[in-house]
Amino acid sequence: MHEENNLIRLHTIIEGRVQGVGFRYFVQEKALALGLNGWVRNRWEGSVEVVAEGNKQTLERLLNDIHRGPRSANVTKVIPKWEIANGEFSHFNIRLTA
């Protein structure tokens, strides 16, 4: 079995004081350190959205970091969805607000 077959996708929305506090950079740093691919972006209504692909254990580590957030953030709600990975990402970046 190839390693790509073990990939899963985490798609999550993070609510609270998560914009203007370095949250996207925090997520990007954690994801890169964990070797994950995907993206993070602010959303117009004030939340942050993350899509990341990797193995489940590594994604759960990212999810734990997301619950904590950077020091100046106040995460009040995390809504994770587990999806099938399609391997479309080759790195982890910050996207424009959507």
What secondary structure letter does DSSP report for 44? Answer: T
Tell me whether residue 42 is one of the annotated catalytic residues: yes
CB-CB neighbours of 48 under 10 Å: 26
Asked if 66 and 75 count as a contact pair (C-beta separation under 8 A), the reply is yes
Nearest to 5 by CA among 61, 53, 59: 53
3-state secondary structure 62-94: HHHHHHHCCCCCEEEEEEEEEEECCCCCCCEEE
Q: Which of 42, 68, 93, 95 does the annotation list as catalytic? A: 42
Q: Which of 5, 9, 17, 24 does the annotation list as catalytic? A: 24
Domains annotated on the chain, with CATH: 3-89 (3.30.70.100)
Instruction: Give the tens place of pLDDT for each residue, 49-98.
Output: 999 999 999 999 999 999 999 999 999 999 999 999 999 999 999 999 98
pTM for the whole structure: 0.93
pLDDT of residue 4 exceeding 80, the answer is: no
Rounded to whole angstroms, how far apart are CA atoms 66 and 60? 10
Mean local confidence (pLDDT), 20-43: 98
